[in-house]
Copies of this chain bind each other. A is one copy, B any other.
Protein backbone atom coordinates (compact mmCIF):
# COMPACT_ATOMS: atom_id res chain seq x y z
CA UNK A 1 0.00 0.00 0.00
CA UNK A 2 2.71 2.51 -0.92
CA UNK A 3 0.24 5.06 -2.18
CA UNK A 4 -1.77 5.31 1.02
CA UNK A 5 -1.46 7.58 3.98
CA UNK A 6 0.36 5.81 6.73
CA UNK A 7 1.41 8.39 9.21
CA UNK A 8 0.70 6.14 12.14
CA UNK A 9 4.31 5.09 11.87
CA UNK A 10 5.60 8.45 10.82
CA UNK A 11 7.28 8.96 14.15
CA UNK A 12 9.53 6.20 15.30
CA UNK A 13 10.67 4.88 18.64
CA UNK A 14 10.11 7.15 21.55
CA UNK A 15 9.39 10.22 19.51
CA UNK A 16 5.65 10.15 19.92
CA UNK A 17 4.49 13.55 18.89
CA UNK A 18 2.29 13.85 15.95
CA UNK A 19 -0.47 11.73 14.59
CA UNK A 20 -0.59 9.53 17.58
CA UNK A 21 -1.08 11.82 20.52
CA UNK A 22 -3.51 14.17 18.80
CA UNK A 23 -6.54 14.78 20.92
CA UNK A 24 -10.14 15.61 20.32
CA UNK A 25 -10.00 17.79 17.20
CA UNK A 26 -10.00 16.76 13.59
CA UNK A 27 -6.76 16.24 11.76
CA UNK A 28 -7.71 17.59 8.38
CA UNK A 29 -10.22 20.39 7.99
CA UNK A 30 -13.01 20.37 5.44
CA UNK A 31 -10.97 22.70 3.23
CA UNK A 32 -8.01 20.32 3.27
CA UNK A 33 -5.71 22.28 5.57
CA UNK A 34 -4.01 20.31 8.33
CA UNK A 35 -4.54 21.12 11.97
CA UNK A 36 -0.98 21.79 13.03
CA UNK A 37 0.04 25.14 14.45
CA UNK A 38 3.66 26.15 13.98
CA UNK A 39 5.80 27.94 16.51
CA UNK A 40 9.27 29.31 16.00
CA UNK A 41 8.50 30.61 12.54
CA UNK A 42 9.96 34.12 12.16
CA UNK A 43 7.41 36.78 11.35
CA UNK A 44 9.17 37.97 8.21
CA UNK A 45 10.73 35.41 5.99
CA UNK A 46 11.96 36.55 2.58
CA UNK A 47 11.49 33.03 1.18
CA UNK A 48 7.78 33.27 2.00
CA UNK A 49 7.20 36.65 0.42
CA UNK A 50 6.33 35.35 -3.02
CA UNK A 51 4.23 32.57 -1.56
CA UNK A 52 2.31 35.02 0.60
CA UNK A 53 1.75 37.50 -2.22
CA UNK A 54 0.54 34.75 -4.51
CA UNK A 55 -1.82 33.04 -2.10
CA UNK A 56 -3.27 36.08 -0.29
CA UNK A 57 -6.86 37.14 -0.88
CA UNK A 58 -7.34 39.02 -4.15
CA UNK A 59 -8.88 42.10 -2.56
CA UNK A 60 -6.03 42.35 -0.07
CA UNK A 61 -3.58 42.00 -2.92
CA UNK A 62 -5.16 44.81 -4.91
CA UNK A 63 -5.28 46.91 -1.76
CA UNK A 64 -1.61 46.25 -1.23
CA UNK A 65 -0.76 47.38 -4.73
CA UNK A 66 -2.80 50.58 -4.37
CA UNK A 67 -1.38 51.30 -0.92
CA UNK A 68 2.13 50.78 -2.23
CA UNK A 69 1.42 53.21 -5.06
CA UNK A 70 0.06 55.86 -2.68
CA UNK A 71 2.90 55.50 -0.19
CA UNK A 72 5.62 55.56 -2.82
CA UNK A 73 4.17 58.78 -4.19
CA UNK A 74 4.04 60.16 -0.68
CA UNK A 75 7.70 59.34 -0.19
CA UNK A 76 8.78 60.95 -3.43
CA UNK A 77 6.51 63.95 -2.90
CA UNK A 78 8.42 64.46 0.34
CA UNK A 79 11.73 64.24 -1.47
CA UNK A 80 10.62 66.69 -4.16
CA UNK A 81 9.43 69.13 -1.48
CA UNK A 82 12.78 68.76 0.25
CA UNK A 83 14.55 69.45 -3.04
CA UNK A 84 12.27 72.43 -3.48
CA UNK A 85 9.48 73.00 -5.97
CA UNK A 86 11.42 75.86 -7.48
CA UNK A 87 13.47 73.11 -9.16
CA UNK A 88 10.47 72.36 -11.36
CA UNK A 89 9.40 74.09 -14.51
CA UNK A 90 5.99 75.02 -13.17
CA UNK A 91 6.38 75.97 -9.53
CA UNK A 92 2.64 75.78 -9.04
CA UNK A 93 0.74 77.17 -6.06
CA UNK A 94 2.30 79.15 -3.26
CA UNK A 95 0.74 77.36 -0.28
CA UNK A 96 2.31 74.28 1.25
CA UNK A 97 -0.68 72.10 0.40
CA UNK A 98 -0.54 73.24 -3.21
CA UNK A 99 3.16 72.57 -3.35
CA UNK A 100 2.67 69.17 -1.79
CA UNK A 101 -0.09 68.23 -4.22
CA UNK A 102 1.98 69.45 -7.14
CA UNK A 103 4.83 67.28 -5.92
CA UNK A 104 2.51 64.37 -5.27
CA UNK A 105 0.96 64.33 -8.73
CA UNK A 106 4.28 64.96 -10.42
CA UNK A 107 5.46 61.88 -8.57
CA UNK A 108 2.45 59.88 -9.76
CA UNK A 109 3.09 60.96 -13.35
CA UNK A 110 6.71 59.92 -13.03
CA UNK A 111 6.09 56.60 -11.29
CA UNK A 112 3.57 55.54 -13.92
CA UNK A 113 5.83 56.99 -16.65
CA UNK A 114 2.92 59.05 -18.02
CA UNK A 115 5.08 62.17 -17.87
CA UNK A 116 2.71 64.78 -19.28
CA UNK A 117 5.37 67.41 -18.92
CA UNK A 118 3.26 70.32 -17.73
CA UNK A 119 5.32 69.95 -14.60
CA UNK A 120 8.80 68.71 -15.30
CA UNK A 121 12.12 68.67 -13.48
CA UNK A 122 13.88 71.98 -14.15
CA UNK A 123 17.19 71.23 -12.46
CA UNK A 124 19.62 68.35 -12.60
CA UNK A 125 18.89 67.47 -8.98
CA UNK A 126 15.18 67.17 -9.63
CA UNK A 127 15.90 65.22 -12.80
CA UNK A 128 18.05 62.76 -10.89
CA UNK A 129 15.35 62.06 -8.33
CA UNK A 130 12.77 61.71 -11.08
CA UNK A 131 14.99 59.28 -12.98
CA UNK A 132 15.25 57.12 -9.86
CA UNK A 133 11.51 57.23 -9.43
CA UNK A 134 10.74 56.25 -12.99
CA UNK A 135 13.17 53.33 -12.77
CA UNK A 136 11.53 52.25 -9.53
CA UNK A 137 8.15 52.56 -11.21
CA UNK A 138 9.12 50.34 -14.09
CA UNK A 139 10.64 47.68 -11.85
CA UNK A 140 7.62 47.77 -9.56
CA UNK A 141 5.28 47.22 -12.45
CA UNK A 142 7.52 44.46 -13.72
CA UNK A 143 7.10 42.86 -10.29
CA UNK A 144 3.35 43.45 -10.33
CA UNK A 145 3.11 41.83 -13.76
CA UNK A 146 4.90 38.75 -12.51
CA UNK A 147 2.80 38.56 -9.36
CA UNK A 148 -0.46 38.95 -11.24
CA UNK A 149 0.54 36.22 -13.64
CA UNK A 150 1.74 34.02 -10.79
CA UNK A 151 -1.57 34.52 -9.01
CA UNK A 152 -3.91 33.51 -11.75
CA UNK A 153 -1.79 30.83 -13.33
CA UNK A 154 -1.24 28.77 -10.22
CA UNK A 155 -3.22 25.54 -9.94
CA UNK A 156 -6.71 25.90 -8.54
CA UNK A 157 -8.48 22.66 -7.95
CA UNK A 158 -12.19 23.24 -7.55
CA UNK A 159 -13.24 19.80 -6.46
CA UNK A 160 -16.33 19.90 -4.28
CA UNK A 161 -16.97 17.02 -1.93
CA UNK A 162 -20.34 15.91 -0.62
CA UNK A 163 -20.99 17.37 2.80
CA UNK A 164 -21.58 13.93 4.28
CA UNK A 165 -20.25 10.45 3.79
CA UNK A 166 -22.94 7.76 3.68
CA UNK A 167 -23.03 4.17 4.86
CA UNK A 168 -25.21 2.77 2.10
CA UNK A 169 -26.18 -0.64 0.72
CA UNK A 170 -23.48 -1.90 -1.60
CA UNK A 171 -23.79 -5.23 -3.40
CA UNK A 172 -24.64 -7.86 -0.80
CA UNK A 173 -23.46 -5.74 2.12
CA UNK A 174 -22.78 -2.12 2.85
CA UNK A 175 -20.24 0.44 1.78
CA UNK A 176 -18.94 3.79 2.96
CA UNK A 177 -19.50 6.31 0.19
CA UNK A 178 -18.60 9.91 -0.47
CA UNK A 179 -18.76 11.65 -3.80
CA UNK A 180 -17.27 14.67 -5.49
CA UNK A 181 -17.47 16.74 -8.65
CA UNK A 182 -15.18 19.10 -10.49
CA UNK A 183 -16.80 22.52 -10.26
CA UNK A 184 -14.65 23.87 -13.04
CA UNK A 185 -15.32 23.22 -16.68
CA UNK A 186 -11.74 22.16 -17.36
CA UNK A 187 -11.07 18.49 -17.88
CA UNK A 188 -9.47 16.56 -15.03
CA UNK A 189 -7.87 13.28 -16.02
CA UNK A 190 -6.02 10.44 -14.36
CA UNK A 191 -7.83 11.12 -11.10
CA UNK A 192 -6.66 9.14 -8.08
CA UNK A 193 -8.26 8.95 -4.67
CA UNK A 194 -7.25 7.44 -1.33
CA UNK A 195 -9.12 7.33 1.97
CA UNK A 196 -7.59 6.84 5.40
CA UNK A 197 -9.48 6.15 8.60
CA UNK A 198 -8.09 7.54 11.83
CA UNK A 199 -9.33 5.89 15.03
CA UNK A 200 -8.44 6.57 18.67
CA UNK A 201 -7.42 3.52 20.65
CA UNK A 202 -9.78 3.46 23.66
CA UNK A 203 -7.04 2.18 25.99
CA UNK A 204 -3.95 4.17 25.08
CA UNK A 205 -5.78 7.16 23.57
CA UNK A 206 -3.28 6.83 20.73
CA UNK A 207 -4.46 7.26 17.17
CA UNK A 208 -4.30 4.43 14.68
CA UNK A 209 -4.54 4.99 10.94
CA UNK A 210 -6.03 2.54 8.45
CA UNK A 211 -5.83 2.82 4.68
CA UNK A 212 -9.26 1.83 3.37
CA UNK A 213 -9.65 -0.46 0.38
CA UNK A 214 -11.64 1.24 -2.37
CA UNK A 215 -13.80 -0.28 -5.06
CA UNK A 216 -11.83 1.86 -7.49
CA UNK A 217 -9.04 4.33 -6.83
CA UNK A 218 -8.21 5.67 -10.27
CA UNK A 219 -10.12 6.77 -13.35
CA UNK A 220 -8.77 8.09 -16.63
CA UNK A 221 -11.50 10.58 -17.44
CA UNK A 222 -13.60 12.51 -14.94
CA UNK A 223 -16.40 14.06 -16.94
CA UNK A 224 -19.04 13.96 -14.23
CA UNK A 225 -19.20 12.95 -10.56
CA UNK A 226 -17.34 10.16 -8.82
CA UNK A 227 -18.77 8.20 -5.92
CA UNK A 228 -15.91 6.74 -3.92
CA UNK A 229 -16.87 3.42 -2.29
CA UNK A 230 -15.17 1.56 0.52
CA UNK A 231 -16.88 -1.87 0.74
CA UNK A 232 -17.47 -2.75 4.42
CA UNK A 233 -16.56 -6.41 4.22
CA UNK A 234 -14.81 -8.60 6.77
CA UNK A 235 -11.41 -7.11 5.90
CA UNK A 236 -12.58 -3.56 6.58
CA UNK A 237 -11.63 -1.86 9.85
CA UNK A 238 -15.28 -0.78 9.92
CA UNK A 239 -16.52 -4.39 9.98
CA UNK A 240 -18.93 -4.87 12.85
CA UNK A 241 -18.80 -1.23 13.96
CA UNK A 242 -21.90 0.84 14.43
CA UNK A 243 -22.40 4.59 14.41
CA UNK A 244 -21.82 4.93 18.16
CA UNK A 245 -18.46 3.17 17.87
CA UNK A 246 -17.19 5.68 15.35
CA UNK A 247 -18.37 8.60 17.45
CA UNK A 248 -16.80 7.14 20.59
CA UNK A 249 -13.44 6.54 18.92
CA UNK A 250 -13.22 10.00 17.33
CA UNK A 251 -13.14 8.51 13.85
CA UNK A 252 -12.04 10.69 10.97
CA UNK A 253 -11.99 9.75 7.29
CA UNK A 254 -9.27 11.62 5.42
CA UNK A 255 -9.75 11.82 1.65
CA UNK A 256 -6.94 12.70 -0.75
CA UNK A 257 -7.58 13.40 -4.41
CA UNK A 258 -4.88 13.81 -7.04
CA UNK A 259 -5.58 14.70 -10.66
CA UNK A 260 -4.01 16.13 -13.76
CA UNK A 261 -5.40 19.35 -15.16
CA UNK A 262 -5.56 18.85 -18.90
CA UNK A 263 -5.87 22.55 -19.70
CA UNK A 264 -2.80 23.77 -17.86
CA UNK A 265 -0.68 20.64 -17.72
CA UNK A 266 -0.50 20.71 -13.93
CA UNK A 267 -0.93 18.09 -11.27
CA UNK A 268 -3.41 19.18 -8.63
CA UNK A 269 -4.23 17.83 -5.21
CA UNK A 270 -7.19 18.33 -2.95
CA UNK A 271 -8.01 16.98 0.48
CA UNK A 272 -10.93 16.85 2.83
CA UNK A 273 -12.08 14.81 5.80
CA UNK A 274 -15.26 13.49 7.35
CA UNK A 275 -15.58 13.14 11.11
CA UNK A 276 -17.83 10.48 12.58
CA UNK A 277 -20.55 13.10 12.98
CA UNK A 278 -20.41 13.75 9.25
CA UNK A 279 -21.19 10.14 8.36
CA UNK A 280 -24.85 9.29 7.85
CA UNK A 281 -25.84 5.68 8.30
CA UNK A 282 -28.52 4.01 6.20
CA UNK A 283 -28.81 6.51 3.39
CA UNK A 284 -27.83 6.55 -0.25
CA UNK A 285 -26.93 9.15 -2.82
CA UNK A 286 -29.47 10.05 -5.50
CA UNK A 287 -28.19 10.22 -9.09
CA UNK A 288 -26.77 13.55 -10.23
CA UNK A 289 -27.09 12.74 -13.91
CA UNK A 290 -29.91 11.94 -16.24
CA UNK A 291 -30.22 11.06 -19.90
CA UNK A 292 -32.05 13.50 -22.12
CA UNK A 293 -34.46 12.38 -24.80
CA UNK A 294 -31.75 12.96 -27.40
CA UNK A 295 -29.44 10.62 -25.57
CA UNK A 296 -27.16 13.31 -24.15
CA UNK A 297 -26.20 13.36 -20.51
CA UNK A 298 -26.90 16.11 -18.02
CA UNK A 299 -25.26 16.45 -14.63
CA UNK A 300 -26.70 18.80 -12.04
CA UNK A 301 -23.93 19.93 -9.70
CA UNK A 302 -26.50 21.20 -7.21
CA UNK A 303 -27.50 17.58 -6.56
CA UNK A 304 -24.09 16.71 -5.12
CA UNK A 305 -25.58 16.25 -1.65
CA UNK A 306 -28.87 14.76 -2.79
CA UNK A 307 -29.51 11.58 -0.84
CA UNK A 308 -32.35 9.67 0.73
CA UNK A 309 -32.67 7.81 3.99
CA UNK A 310 -33.41 4.14 3.70
CA UNK A 311 -36.11 2.57 5.76
Chain A residues with CB under 8 Å of chain B are 2-7, 9-19, 21-25, 33-41, 45-51, 54-55, 58, 65-66, 69, 73, 89, 98, 101-102, 105, 108-110, 112-118, 120-122, 124, 127-128, 130-131, 134-135, 137-139, 141-146, 148-150, 152-156, 158, 168-171, 175, 177, 179, 183-187, 189, 194, 215-216, 218-221, 223-227, 229, 256, 260, 262-269, 271, 284-292, 294-303
In the complex, the answer to whether B118 meets A114 with C-beta atoms within 8 Å is no
The closest CB in chain B to the CB of A187 belongs to: B34
Main secondary structure on chain A at its contact with chain B?
mixed
Contact partner, A120, options B101, B118, B121, B267, Cβ 8 Å: B118
A117 to B66, CA, bound (A): 25
In the complex, the answer to whether B225 meets A18 with C-beta atoms within 8 Å is yes
In the complex, the answer to whether B138 meets A12 with C-beta atoms within 8 Å is no
Please list the 6 inter-chain residue pairs (A to B) with the smallest Cβ-Cβ separation, ordered nearest first.
A23-B295, A146-B149, A24-B295, A40-B302, A17-B289, A117-B117
Known: A120-B118, A221-B34, A227-B12. A39 touches B300 (CB 8 A): yes
Q: Tell me which residues across on chain B come within 8 A of A268, comparing CB atoms.
A: 265
In the complex, the answer to whether B148 meets A143 with C-beta atoms within 8 Å is yes
In the complex, the answer to whether A127 meets B105 with C-beta atoms within 8 Å is yes
Q: Taking the nearest CB of chain B, how far is it from the CB of A1, in angstroms?
A: 11
Contact partner, A14, options B24, B45, B169, Cβ 8 Å: B169
Q: Tell me which residues across on chain B come within 8 A of A289, comparing CB atoms.
A: 17-18, 21, 36
Known: A117-B120, A134-B112. A288 touches B22 (CB 8 A): no
24 A-B pairs within 8 Å (CB atoms) are namely A6-B220, A7-B220, A10-B216, A12-B216, A15-B287, A22-B291, A25-B294, A35-B296, A36-B224, A36-B298, A39-B302, A40-B300, A47-B158, A69-B135, A108-B134, A112-B131, A112-B134, A113-B113, A113-B115, A145-B149, A154-B264, A154-B265, A194-B220, A265-B268
